[in-house]
């Protein structure tokens, strides 16, 4: 069986822990019946021995199969990874949702995406990456009484994402520790208003609103200060026609949204200025988690 899950970008500036979207850039998770357990990683992470010795997909998949009464099966696992690890592009969410999806597919022959989303919350307690990873598109996600409620908007192919991926990893857990525990009323209203405007901009495709709607006072500045070259990344993107330029999740990647026709210009400007960083010109994804082979 094969499941694929897309990369995601969370927060989108002001929507801390509640807004996220999905990118057309996928990891493939394959399992085959086997009398011996084997793990093969192709692509991102293939040189990290730790990912084989202590594999999160295998752990979550096996744990959930066991809960569903299946503990006597062994598999050959093959992971074809494109999503960079610890760069704020949802690699953990992809693994968590694929592992839960695969366990459910094996047991029930189908995947209930809403159920997977609620279960995923125990492994990642902010839903802004897991929701677009599972459903695709632009999403608002809310946790209420331990369940995730979300609304999704498909993203038009008039816009694209130029994603800049620095060579330095950032741990979300560490990066969250640098953030304040309390915010002022002024900063809260600043973020609330822009985050709400961002939702309307995606619904009405008012792309000229994104520049203002993507401003944030909760987390970006503090996080970017830990890695100051990111201020230059944002400046170059906006100077070259990006509609918005935000830290992707907790970083270190940057999400630059632009009109389709401007993507190559921004990509070239980024490559010229930040030659050590990877730069990708990506479409958005509106599918989320997919069963590729049953
Ligand atoms: N919203 C999270 C954060 C990252 O900014 O720490 C993605 O879940």
pLDDT at 168: 92
CB atoms within 10 A of CB 192: 12
170 and 276 co-located in one domain: yes
Asked if residue 147 and residue 165 are part of one domain, the reply reads: no
Q: Are residues 24 and 149 in the same domain?
A: yes
Claim to verify: residue 123 and residue 245 sit in the same structural domain = no
Each residue's pLDDT, cut to its tens digit, for the chain (294 residues) gives: 999 999 999 999 999 999 999 999 999 999 999 999 999 999 999 998 888 889 999 999 999 999 999 999 999 999 999 999 999 999 999 999 999 999 999 999 999 999 999 999 999 989 999 999 999 999 999 999 999 999 999 999 999 999 999 999 988 888 898 899 999 999 999 999 999 999 999 999 999 999 999 999 999 999 999 999 999 999 999 999 999 999 999 999 999 999 999 999 999 999 999 999 999 999 999 999 999 999
The answer on whether 93 is annotated among ligand-binding residues is yes
Rounded to two decimals, what is the model's pTM?
0.97
Q: Do 175 and 187 belong together in one domain?
A: yes
> Within this chain, do residues 76 and 206 fall inside the same structural domain, yes or no?
no
Are 168 and 57 found together in one domain? no
The answer to whether the annotation marks 88 as part of a ligand binding site is yes
Name the residue of 7, 12, 126 to mutate for ligand 1: max ligand atoms within 8 A of Cβ: 126
Same domain, 126 and 176: no
Same domain, 98 and 195: no
| pLDDT value, residue 135 | 98
Q: Sort strands 244-247 and 138-144 into parallel, antiparallel or unpaired.
A: unpaired
CATH code of the domain containing 272: 3.30.70.890
Beta bridge partners, 247, equal: 254
Q: Residue 140's Cα: distance from chain center in Å?
A: 13
Domain count, the chain: 2
Q: Which pLDDT score is estimated for 49?
A: 86
Which tens digit of pLDDT belongs to each residue from 7-21?
999 999 999 999 999
The pLDDT value given to residue 171? 86
The domain of 253 spans 159-282
Whether residues 251 and 277 fall in one domain: yes
Query: What local confidence, expressed as pLDDT, does residue 56 receive?
Result: 97
Q: Ligand 1 mean position to 253 CA, how many Å?
A: 12
> Any bridge partners for residue 8, and if so which?
22
Closest CA to 6 of 143, 101, 123: 101
- Give the model's pLDDT for residue 117: 98
Shortest-distance Cα residue to atom 1 of ligand 1:
17
What is d(CA 267, CA 278) in angstroms, rounded to the nearest whole number?
10
Inter-residue contact 173 to 125 (CB < 8 Å) = no
- The residue among 23, 31, 24 whose CA lies nearest residue 3 is 31
Asked if residue 39 and residue 113 are part of one domain, the reply reads yes
Which pLDDT score is estimated for 37? 96
Residue 171 and residue 145 in one domain: no
Give the distance (Å) from ligand 1 centre to CA of residue 19. 10
168, exposed or middle or buried, with CB in 10 Å at 0-12, 13-18, 19+? middle
Residue 127, marked binder: no
CATH number of the domain where residue 119 is located: 3.30.230.10
């Amino acid at each position: 069986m094969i499941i694929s899950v897309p990369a995601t970008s969370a927060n989108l500036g002001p929507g801390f822990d509640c807004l996220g979207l999905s990118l057309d850039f996928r990891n493939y998770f394959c399992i085959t019946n086997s009398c011996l357990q084997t793990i093969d990683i192709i692509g991102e992470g293939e040189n990290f021995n730790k990912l084989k010795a202590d594999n999160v997909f295998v752990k979550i998949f096996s744990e959930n199969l066991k809960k569903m009464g299946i503990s006597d099966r062994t598999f050959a696992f093959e992971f074809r990874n494109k999503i960079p690890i610890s760069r704020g592009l949802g690699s953990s969410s992809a693994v968590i949702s694929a592992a839960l999806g695969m366990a459910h597919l094996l047991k029930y022959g189908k995947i209930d995406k809403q159920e997977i989303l609620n279960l995923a919350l125990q492994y990642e307690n902010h839903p802004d990456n897991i929701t677009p990873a599972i459903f695709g598109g632009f999403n608002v996600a809310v946790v209420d009484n331990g369940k995730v409620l979300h609304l999704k908007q498909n993203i038009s192919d008039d816009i694209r994402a130029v994603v800049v991926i620095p060579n330095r990893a950032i741990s979300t857990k560490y990066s969250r520790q640098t953030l304040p525990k309390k915010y002022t009323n002024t900063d809260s209203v600043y973020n609330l208003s822009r985050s709400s405007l961002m939702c309307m901009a995606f619904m009405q495709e008012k792309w000229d609103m994104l520049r203002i709607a993507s401003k944030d006072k909760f987390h970006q500045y503090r996080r970017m200060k830990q890695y100051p070259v990111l201020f230059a990344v944002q400046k170059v993107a906006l100077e070259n026609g990006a509609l918005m330029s935000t830290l992707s999740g907790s970083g270190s990647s940057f999400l630059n949204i632009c009109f389709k026709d401007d993507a190559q210009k921004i990509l070239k400007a980024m490559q010229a200025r930040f030659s050590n960083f990877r730069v990708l010109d990506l479409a958005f994804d509106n599918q989320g988690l997919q069963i590729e082979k049953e």
